[in-house]
């Protein structure tokens, strides 16, 4: 069973400190630590749980990003992924979800046949939850979103049954392979990296698809590891996945950012109320007289 | 796909009524349509007489036509056939703007539709306006300005997608207001039956095995007063005080996300970017630090009281009244003051 997990390296937007936000509203990304997008970790964990049930399953983690995004691929290897792909090209930069899902589609097609794609529901920088469904549409496969549990898997019959949460409760949904599933943070608690795998993979580098790369970027790789370990992270660019440059990056993005504004904290205008009985009592009386609290 | 036609809203049906967010978008859609001087229309997928009569009632909100794909197999939402039906309607009718509720259905359906149409889609908009945008010397007037928080809520971005039609956006429930319906029976939307031919062998790849409905234990959006607890008020004994205060003043209890994550109360009590957006008359924030993700869900409350031991807590910057103190100490005083008012 072949499982593909899409992963993303994101700035840690839930812990914005210091000079990450410039006064003009732009983001100083270099001031922000990067992390493995949390729900992508949940997606990888769900794949690893399936692999525990079905040891012959093969998990490939793929990320579209600059070379630094290799961090999440190494992390994926530490946690148990079998193979990882770095999809990297300057021409992918500035992509919105449509252009991103297009590039990912090209890479997935290069990977060949697959049974399942697990995606995190959404990334904490864009917060759109769009790439998963758009990737599914481009691949012409089924999608099930907002999944909080994998209920059953039947490798023989090529079906998966999942639980998805909705505003009204939950649904149990079954689908044939291939299907793309987006996974939420409530699905699991991601396992930590394995110390053994960290030792094996901590210096693993990338190697580009020689046929497509013309520049002499440094090719570094680990020592000669026996199967099932991999020796290098495969790096694919626009040509190696057969992508059309017009459909990638800024060119391929129908949405454009017109303006960005920093969310500015308005300087404290709170009327400070003493925490003693007198202060609180007069606050309550004021709210009652204004009919904010029922009298 | 070039066009310059209607503003269209995807109508979501709960099984009993049209989803609140769809009505909110119909009202916002009407406002946009009036400014653009085009009709307001709707697209719906589902099955049943009661849905049909609700769709006709959309006329009371100013909706002209509803393009309705009806099929018994579509009674419950499923990604592939719903996307197919909506795409076929959009390709034929060519609206210039399409709005979806940012519900679990909307966030599943809208991106798939946008991918097929290769058009722009902006998720979780907090505002929609019309304006001008220039790209490479070309000016687009009256294009949809899609305003939304990003980067964990730390920035507000204005997104446009004027070069590809339609401009699509999803909007969360409670963000746009609802205007009351006209109340006039004769204001009826025209149902236009969409005849989509589905291929049973490939258009229904998902099988819904079971639907487990859970009653919402609280509807925070309707609450006029909310007492909210953050991690600073989440201990068992403090929660007792929080609930008691709520009971005494007739409020609903809400919590911030970390409190939900800690399993203290369920997600339908959560206020914030990934929870519910509320606009009560009074919001009492107890032991809530005021992270942006939480503020996004309550900043428009008419009055905000913040109680926190930390005078530097960001919540004080948006509160109308601030009390620096221990929640365990302040709440009993509030209860007493209210009973003695």
Contacts of B195-199 spanning 24+ positions with Cβ under 8 A: B196/B69, B196/B71, B196/B84, B196/B85, B196/B88, B198/B71, B198/B73, B198/B81, B198/B84
Q: Chain B contacts of A280, Cβ < 8 Å?
A: 323, 330, 333-334, 337
User: Per the CB < 8 Å rule, is B108 touching A145?
Assistant: yes
Of B15, B158, B321, the CB nearest to A258: B158
Taking CB atoms and an 8 Å cutoff, what residues of chain B touch A138?
Answer: 115
Q: What is the average pLDDT across B211-238?
A: 90
Which chain A residue lies closest to B262 (C-alpha atoms)? A186
B198 exposure class (CB count in 10 Å sphere: 0-12, 13-18, 19+): middle
Reported as a single tens digit per residue, the pLDDT across B133-191 is 999 899 999 999 999 987 767 788 999 999 999 999 999 887 888 899 999 999 999 99
B145 and A CB contact within 8 Å = yes
Q: Between chains, do A256 and B157 touch, taking CB under 8 Å as contact?
A: no
User: Listing from the earlier edge strand, what are the strands of the sheet with B40-46?
Assistant: B121-125, B167-171, B97-101, B7-11, B40-46, B65-70, B190-193
* Nearest-neighbour CA in chain B from A237: distance (Å): 22
Partner residue opposite A168 with nearest CB, options B14, B152, B225: B14
Q: What is the C-alpha end-to-end distance of chain B, expressed in Å? A: 64
Q: Check CB contact under 8 Å for A168 and B213.
A: yes
A276/B333 CB distance under 8 A: yes
Q: What is the full DSSP assignment across B248-297? A: HHT-EEEE-HHHHHTTSS-GGGBBSTTSB----SEEEEES----HHHHTT
Judge: B324–A98 Cβ closer than 8 Å, yes or no.
no
* pLDDT tens-place string over residues A62-96: 999 999 999 999 999 999 999 999 999 999 999 99
Residue of A nearest to B79 (CA): A143
CB contact under 8 A, A275 and B321: no
Write out residues 191-210 of B within 8 Å (CB-CB) of A: 205-210
In Å, how far are A133, A170, A187 from A146, measured between CA atoms?
11, 10, 9
- pLDDT tens for A231-267 read 889 999 999 999 999 999 999 999 999 998 877 655 5
Which residue from B335, B155, B311 is spatially nearest to B240, judged by alpha carbons? B335
Residue of chain B minimizing CA distance to A136: B112
Which of 27-66 (B) contact A at CB < 8 A? none
> Would you call B224 an interface residue with chain A, using a CB distance cutoff of 8 Å?
no
CA distance A59 to A136: 18
Q: Do A168 and B121 touch (CB under 8 A)?
A: no
Q: Search chain A and give the residue with CA nearest B16.
A: A168
Residue B266 sits at φ, ψ, to 5 deg, of: -80, 170
Other Cβ atoms less than 10 A from the Cβ of A156: the count is 6
Mean pLDDT estimate for chain B: 93
CA distance B234 to chain A (A): 20
Contacting residues of A for B282, CB less than 8 Å apart: 287, 292-293
Contact status, residue B306 vs residue B228, Cβ threshold 8 Å: no
Average confidence (pLDDT) over B107-131: 96
pLDDT digits (tens, 9 = 90+) for A189-222: 999 999 999 999 988 888 886 543 434 444 444 4
Per-chain mean pLDDT for chain A: 89
pLDDT at B175: 81
Neighbouring C-alpha atoms within 13 Å toward the C-beta of A87: 31
Find the CB nearest A142 among B79, B104, B334.
B79
Q: Which residue of B has its CA nearest to A129?
A: B107
| Cα–Cα distance for residue pair B261/B135, rounded to 1 Å | 44
ipTM: 0.89
- Band of the pLDDT at A223, cuts 50, 70, 90? low
Q: What is the distance, to the nearest Å, from the Cα of residue B240 to the centroid of all Cα atoms in its chain?
A: 31
- B207 contacts in A (CB within 8 Å)? 173-175
**Whole-angstrom Cα distance, residue B24 to residue B174?**
8
A280–B323: do the CB atoms touch at under 8 Å? yes
Contacts of B158 (CB under 8 A, 6+ apart): A257, A258, A259, A260, A261, B145, B146, B147
Judged against a pLDDT cut of 90, whether residue A132 lies above it is answered with yes
For residue A262, the tally of other CB atoms under 10 A from its CB is 16
Q: Tell whether the model's pLDDT for residue A23 goes beyond 70.
A: no
Q: Do B323 and A272 touch (CB under 8 A)?
A: yes
Residue B260: pLDDT band (50, 70, 90) is: confident
Contact call for B123 and A174, based on CB within 8 A: no
């Amino acid at each position: 069973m072949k499982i593909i997990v899409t992963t993303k390296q994101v700035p840690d937007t839930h812990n914005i400190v210091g000079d990450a936000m410039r006064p003009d509203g732009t983001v100083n990304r270099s001031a922000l630590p990067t992390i493995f997008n949390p729900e992508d970790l949940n997606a990888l964990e769900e794949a690893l749980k399936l692999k525990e049930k079905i040891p012959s399953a093969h998990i490939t983690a793929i990320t579209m990003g600059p070379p630094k995004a290799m961090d999440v691929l190494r992390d994926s290897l530490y946690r148990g992924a079998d193979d990882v792909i770095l999809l990297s090209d300057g021409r992918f930069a500035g992509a919105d979800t449509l252009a991103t899902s297009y590039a990912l589609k090209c890479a997935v097609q290069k990977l060949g046949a697959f049974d399942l794609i697990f995606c995190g529901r959404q990334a904490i920088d864009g917060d759109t939850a769009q790439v998963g469904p758009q990737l599914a549409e481009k691949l012409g496969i089924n999608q099930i979103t907002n999944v909080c549990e994998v209920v059953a898997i039947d490798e023989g019959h090529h079906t998966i049954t999942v639980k998805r949460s909705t505003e009204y409760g939950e649904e149990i949904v079954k689908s044939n392979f291939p299907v793309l599933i987006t996974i939420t943070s409530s699905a699991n608690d991601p396992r930590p990296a394995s110390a053994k795998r960290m030792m094996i993979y901590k210096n693993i580098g990338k190697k580009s698809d020689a046929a497509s790369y013309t520049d002499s970027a440094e090719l570094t790789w680990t020592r000669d590891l026996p199967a099932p370990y991999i020796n290098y992270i495969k790096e694919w660019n626009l040509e190696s996945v057969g992508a059309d440059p017009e459909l990638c990056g800024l060119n391929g993005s129908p949405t454009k950012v017109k303006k960005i504004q920093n969310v500015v904290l308005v300087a404290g205008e709170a009327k400070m109320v003493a925490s003693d009985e007198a202060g609180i009592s007069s606050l309550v009386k004021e709210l009652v007289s204004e009919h904010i609290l029922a009298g | 796909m070039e066009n310059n036609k209607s503003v269209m809203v995807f109508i979501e049906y709960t099984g009993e009524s049209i989803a609140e967010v769809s009505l909110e978008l119909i009202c916002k859609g009407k406002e946009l349509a009036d400014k653009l001087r085009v009709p307001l229309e709707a697209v719906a997928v589902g099955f049943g007489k009661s849905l049909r009569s609700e769709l006709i009632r959309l006329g009371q909100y100013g909706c002209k036509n509803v393009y309705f794909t009806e099929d018994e197999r579509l009674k419950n939402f499923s990604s592939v056939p719903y996307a197919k039906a909506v795409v076929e309607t959009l390709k034929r009718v060519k609206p210039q703007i399409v709005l979806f509720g940012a519900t679990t259905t909307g966030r599943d359906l809208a991106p798939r539709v946008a991918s097929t149409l290769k058009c722009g889609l902006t998720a979780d908009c907090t505002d929609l306006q019309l304006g001008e945008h220039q790209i490479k010397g070309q000016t687009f007037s009256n294009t949809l300005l899609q305003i939304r928080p990003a980067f964990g809520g730390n920035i507000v971005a204005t997104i446009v997608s004027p070069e590809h039609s339609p401009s699509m956006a999803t909007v969360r429930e409670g963000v746009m207001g609802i205007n009351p319906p006209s109340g006039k029976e004769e204001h009826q939307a025209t149902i236009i039956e969409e005849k989509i031919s589905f291929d049973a062998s490939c258009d229904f790849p998902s099988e819904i095995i079971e639907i487990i409905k859970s009653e919402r234990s609280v509807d925070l959006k309707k609450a006029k007063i909310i007492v909210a607890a953050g991690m600073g008020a989440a201990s068992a004994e403090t929660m007792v005080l929080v609930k008691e205060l709520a009971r005494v003043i007739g409020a609903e209890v809400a919590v911030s996300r970390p409190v939900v994550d800690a399993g203290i109360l369920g997600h339908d009590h959560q206020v914030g970017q990934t929870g519910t957006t509320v606009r009560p008359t009074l919001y009492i924030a107890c032991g809530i630090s005021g992270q942006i993700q939480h503020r996004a869900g309550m900043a428009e409350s008419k009055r905000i009281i913040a109680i926190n031991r930390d005078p530097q807590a960001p919540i004080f910057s948006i509160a109308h009244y601030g009390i620096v103190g221990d929640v365990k100490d302040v709440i009993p005083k509030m209860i007493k003051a209210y009973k003695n008012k």
